[in-house]
Structure 1
Amino acid sequence: MTRTATCLLATAAAAAIALPAHASAATLVASLAGANETHEGDASGTGVFTADADVDSGDLCYTLAAEIEGEPMAAHIHKGAAGTDGAPVVTLEITGPEDDICMAVEPDVLKPILASPADYYVNVHSAAYPKGAVRGQLEKGG
């Protein structure tokens, strides 16, 4: 092997090691409960959120089910760490436990969610609990 080829191989190997890992897709999960709300939530309410998110395609495919007092009025992914409230960044639909839905989400919205899911939460609102009946922090799933 020539000296030039050896140098090129070494440079390519070093560059490959130096490149940061870019995860463009991930599974996100959240267990929702009324006790997780920062205000009075539905004490007996529960829910589950599971999603596959892909930054490159902008796809968010998810299942969202909630057992809460009254009819669900709205659901969102909000920016906010545990114990804090934040603005909604994605509006969701309640799918029920057996169905899922896919929607387009701007990659600039998905990137920070995938980078730091614990800084975001899912909650479901009802007429009885307009600020949120149940809530759960996002985390990466397996």
Structure 2
Amino acid sequence: MNALSKAGLIGALASGAMLAGCATVEEAVVQKTAETYHATLTGAQETHGGDPDGYATAQLSVADRIDQVCYDINDIRNIGPITAIHIHRGAPGVDGPPVWTLKQANEGGWKDCTDKAEWMQDAFENHFRGFYVNIHTTEYPNGAIRGQFGD
């Protein structure tokens, strides 16, 4: 290998290492700037009577500096087929309008990220107090389980 080829190879390797470092730096920035809100979903929290043994947990992470919000609904147990999952504006014990319809990931779970919408700024400033997530099923079309964020 001549000197010019060696220099080109070293430059290419260094560039690749720098690009790989960018992803790591970006991930670190997202982790440092994200605030995560949790909710535990149960049927008892539904205003119209939900699934008595249904359960799930929800995480909502907001990265303020990059204007992105991510959700992860997991540990879903003892409920029928899911027809919809929404985030609603509403205090505990009060039904409120849906502000965000969550979608199922291609892998089958309920998680995704999106750009922040206008309503999220107010929610973020109030630590998502007055917002809840609920899961609708065929058996409980008005909501099988529900959990409040920020409380």
Q: Check 1:99–1:71 CA distance in 2 against 1; reply closer, same or farther (3 A cut).
A: closer
Number of residues paired by the alignment?
116
Distance 2:110 2:85 in 1: 16
SS at match of 2:83: strand
2:145 partner letter? V
1:105: Cα distance to partner? 3.0
The structure that has the greater radius of gyration is 2
For structure 1, the residue ranges without an aligned partner over 5 or more in a row are 1-23
Instruction: Report the counterpart of residue 83 of structure 2 in structure 1.
Output: 73
SS at match of 2:44: helix
Give the conservation status (yes or no) of the 8 Å contact 1:45–1:69.
yes
Question: Normalising to structure 2: TM-score of the pair?
Answer: 0.68
**Which of 106, 120, 144 is matched with 1:133 structurally?**
144
SS at match of 1:118: coil
1:33 partner letter? T
Give the conservation status (yes or no) of the 8 Å contact 1:64–1:93.
no
1:91: Cα distance to partner? 1.0
Instruction: Report the counterpart of residue 34 of structure 1 in structure 2.
Output: 43
Q: Check 1:75–1:81 CA distance in 2 against 1; reply closer, same or farther (3 A cut).
A: same
Give the conservation status (yes or no) of the 8 Å contact 2:130–2:150.
no
1:37: Cα distance to partner? 0.4
Instruction: Report the counterpart of residue 14 of structure 2 in structure 1.
Output: none
Larger helix fraction of residues: 2
| Alignment RMSD | 2.4
Give the conservation status (yes or no) of the 8 Å contact 1:79–1:87.
yes
Q: Deviations over 1:47-74 (max 9, x none)?
A: 1001211344331112102224211110
Instruction: Report the counterpart of residue 121 of structure 1 in structure 2.
Output: 132
2:119 partner letter? V
Distance 1:99 1:64 in 2: 5
Q: Check 1:25–1:45 CA distance in 2 against 1; reply closer, same or farther (3 A cut).
A: same
Give the conservation status (yes or no) of the 8 Å contact 1:118–1:139.
yes
Give the conservation status (yes or no) of the 8 Å contact 2:62–2:68.
yes
Distance 1:51 1:57 in 2: 15
Instruction: Report the counterpart of residue 90 of structure 1 in structure 2.
Output: 100
2:89 partner letter? K
Give the conservation status (yes or no) of the 8 Å contact 1:53–1:110.
no
